[in-house]
Amino acid sequence: MKRLLTFVAAIAATQLASAETLKINGSTTVNLPVAEAAEELRAQKKLDIQVDTQGGSSGGISGVGDGLVQLGMSSKSISDADRAKYPKVNFNPIHIGEDAVAMIVSRDVWEGGVKSLTQQQLRDIYEGRITDWKDVGGKPQRIAFFNKEPGRGTWEVFAHWLYGDAKKAPQVSFPEVGGNEETRNKVSSTRGAMSQLSASWTDNQKVFALGIKADAGEVVQPTPENIVSRRYGMSRPLFLLTNGEPQGDARTFVDFMLGSRGQELVKKHGYLSIAELKQR
Amino acid sequence: MMTNEDLVRDLRLSDGAARRPYLAGISCTRLASFAFTALALGTVGALTLIFILQSLPVWQDEGIGYLTGGKWFYRVQTFGALPMIYGTLTVALIALLLAAPIGIGAAIFTSEFLPARVRLAVKITIELLAGVPSVVYGLIGILLLRDWIYELFARFDLLSGDTLLTAGVLLGVMILPTVMTLADDALRSVPAEQRRAARGLGLTATETVLAVTIPQAGRGLIAALLLGLGRALGETIAVFLVVGRQDNNLPANIFSPRAWLESGQTLSSKLGGSETNIAYGDPLHWAAMVGLALILMTMVLAATIGGAWQRKTKYAPSI
């Protein structure tokens, strides 16, 4: 009997401890600096932090909406639909940096001579009117387009930029990819492959970021300068998301991300810090 | 602490039927086991009921078109599950085509030709395959199988290595232990006398297997395949990683193996994907996702019940 009581007490104790775990979930893009920040906070302040990337930005938003996590990570803004879905939740997006979305291609496409595309060419590829790289200045090879799965911030930014509004994007069915790592691997291991990817994940060794050609023929690369000046249009804010004002450990975490070390981590992973964005 | 004396007293207490605990004349053991069985059955029943109730809106909205429709675009509220049903069945069929000859072949070898000790060692080794987490299979699929299929069938101009075939081959490996070990059990359950009688009549070892053991274990072998099929239908994460997750890719001819080299979507890969998160909160979309679960559960149940039934009704052949 005593043993049983000890056992019950032990279970109760772990339950109490886990109640204090700071749970974070959402976008793999935001995850990069956040996971590193979590590691530093665990070591420095002995915080119990659990970071996950289930379901991308949508997973982060619904996690906060359902109260499953204290902090969401999102690489897209909260839409009216999200707010309507969770009327009781007071979504509070905290801007921690900015990232661009690049159109990436595999090595054979890049070396075959396709270094940039116009918006119209991208629309033609997305809607299936162009299916071969030879039609956009490359070598003959079928275009293997990997589309970011629904709910990914990357896709929303791409669709918003290409069609003015993600809701206006045509209904298409391509093979889908999820996180950034999967996207990069699949594109680099497939001939004639193309996908959307967070610009900070492009390495120009395995996958190559295309420039965007304006109608006048000028090519804009997804560089930090071009993103700050908004000449490169396919960019997006990165958010930590809370329900109302962050409290307790969540507050500590948000302050850390906005502080000098957190912003250093944001820059380290190829994103633009808040300070850089203020130069706009 | 339980002392030795306590232990002895306990043993004495449990000794003899008269001292077993009874509640209002019914054995407690019996009562408890009944309760657990009812709980297990009730869970399945409740789950099915919830799935049916929650998927009602999509049946009302799409009607039978939900099963026969070839287009799934959740953003414009169009839900047709046929391409996913096709994907699920195709992938499971490929898995069975691979696992059936290898699994049953291996079972014949272990049960009929190996000495008992070695047989157990081989069987345990193959059963170890069943203990590998499916995400590990998925990663192996990504690392090796995708590229292998991609290069092997390069002349068919594959768009990528993520194909129904890749998923099917991976699943074939995953269900191999199930098929093999159940087939081995089925073969072993054929009485030794039958084999001896056959050998006594002058049949060779091979003839005995072909003419006596396999026909008598027939139902058990079919059961092994059906239970393997049940596992293949429901498997999610490994398939998710290599099937390509392309919606609405229904081929012009669904019997054409050429279409196996295309990306596709299965019921389980759809359910394992990001749409489940998005659907929550939109009644129709959610109903459509739950409906997929209902279809999948029906398919798995059918295969499993079929398998269990085949296994149970053994018969002595009338010679």
- A175 contacts chain B (CB < 8 A): yes
pLDDT at B41: 94
Contact residues, B window 56-85, toward A, CB-based 8 Å cutoff: 73-76, 78
- A270 contacts chain B (CB < 8 A): no
pTM beyond 0.95, yes or no: no
Nearest alpha carbon to residue A25 among A90, A73, A65? A73
Please check whether residue A186 is in contact with residue A193, taking contact to mean a CB–CB distance below 8 angstroms: yes
From chain B, pick out residues whose CB is under 8 angstroms from the CB of A189. Answer: 146-147, 150, 161
- B248 contacts chain A (CB < 8 A): yes
Distance from CA of B93 to the nearest CA of A (A): 21
Contact residues, A window 17-76, toward B, CB-based 8 Å cutoff: 54-56, 58-59, 62
- Domains annotated on chain B, with CATH: 79-312 (1.10.3720.10)
Which residue in chain A is spatially nearest to B243 when comparing CA positions?
Answer: A175
- B270 contacts chain A (CB < 8 A): no
Please check whether residue A74 is in contact with residue A27, taking contact to mean a CB–CB distance below 8 angstroms: yes
Burial category of B301 from C-beta neighbours within 10 Å (exposed 0-12, middle 13-18, buried 19 and up): middle
Give me the tens of pLDDT residue by residue for chain B, a chain 319 residues long: 555 666 555 555 555 455 556 666 778 888 899 999 999 999 999 999 999 999 999 999 999 999 999 999 999 999 999 999 999 999 999 999 999 999 999 999 999 999 988 988 988 888 888 888 888 988 999 889 999 999 999 888 899 999 999 999 999 999 999 999 999 999 999 999 999 999 999 999 999 999 999 999 999 999 999 999 999 998 999 999 999 999 999 998 888 888 999 999 999 999 998 898 888 778 999 999 999 999 999 999 999 999 888 876 555 554 4
- Domains annotated on chain A, with CATH: 2-96+238-277 (3.40.190.10), 100-229 (3.40.190.10)
- Are A193 and B245 an interchain contact pair (Cβ–Cβ within 8 Å)? no
Which residue in chain A is spatially nearest to B250 when comparing CA positions?
Answer: A173
- Are A189 and B162 an interchain contact pair (Cβ–Cβ within 8 Å)? no
pLDDT at B311: 76
- Are A142 and B159 an interchain contact pair (Cβ–Cβ within 8 Å)? yes
Nearest to B246 among A86, A174, A193 (CB): A174
Tell me if residue B23 falls in helix, strand or coil. strand
Q: Which two tokens stand for residue A169?
A: 């994007």
- Are B273 and A176 an interchain contact pair (Cβ–Cβ within 8 Å)? yes
Nearest alpha carbon to residue A273 among A26, A33, A27? A33
Distance from CA of A215 to the nearest CA of B (A): 30
Distance from CA of A279 to the nearest CA of B (A): 36
**Cα(B296)–Cα(A178) distance, integer angstroms:** 23
pLDDT at B10: 57
Which residues does residue B244 pair with via DSSP β-bridges, in sequence order?
Answer: B264
Nearest to A171 among B73, B159, B277 (CB): B73
Q: Which two tokens stand for residue B260?
A: 């196996």
Burial category of A189 from C-beta neighbours within 10 Å (exposed 0-12, middle 13-18, buried 19 and up): middle
Render pLDDT for B222-277 as a digit per residue (tens, 0 to 9): 999 999 999 999 899 999 999 999 999 999 888 888 899 999 999 999 999 889 88
Q: Which two tokens stand for residue B284?
A: 């129709």
- Main-chain phi, psi angles of A222, to 5 degrees: -80, 65
Distance from CA of B159 to the nearest CA of A (A): 6
Average pLDDT over residues A89-102: 92
- Are B274 and A174 an interchain contact pair (Cβ–Cβ within 8 Å)? no
**Residue A192, CB half-sphere, CA atoms under 13 Å: how many?**
23
Render pLDDT for B119-152 as a digit per residue (tens, 0 to 9): 889 888 888 888 888 889 889 998 899 999 999 9
Distance from CA of A194 to the nearest CA of B (A): 11
Look at the block and give the residue holding tokens 């696992």.
Answer: B99
Distance from CA of A85 to the nearest CA of B (A): 6
Nearest alpha carbon to residue A60 among A147, A153, A149? A153
- B278 contacts chain A (CB < 8 A): yes
Query: What is the phi-psi region of residue B24: left when phi exceeds 0, alpha when psi lies from -120 to 50, beta otherwise?
Result: left
Alpha helices per DSSP H over chain A: 2-19, 28-45, 56-65, 80-85, 107-111, 119-126, 153-163, 180-188, 224-228, 248-258, 260-268, 274-277
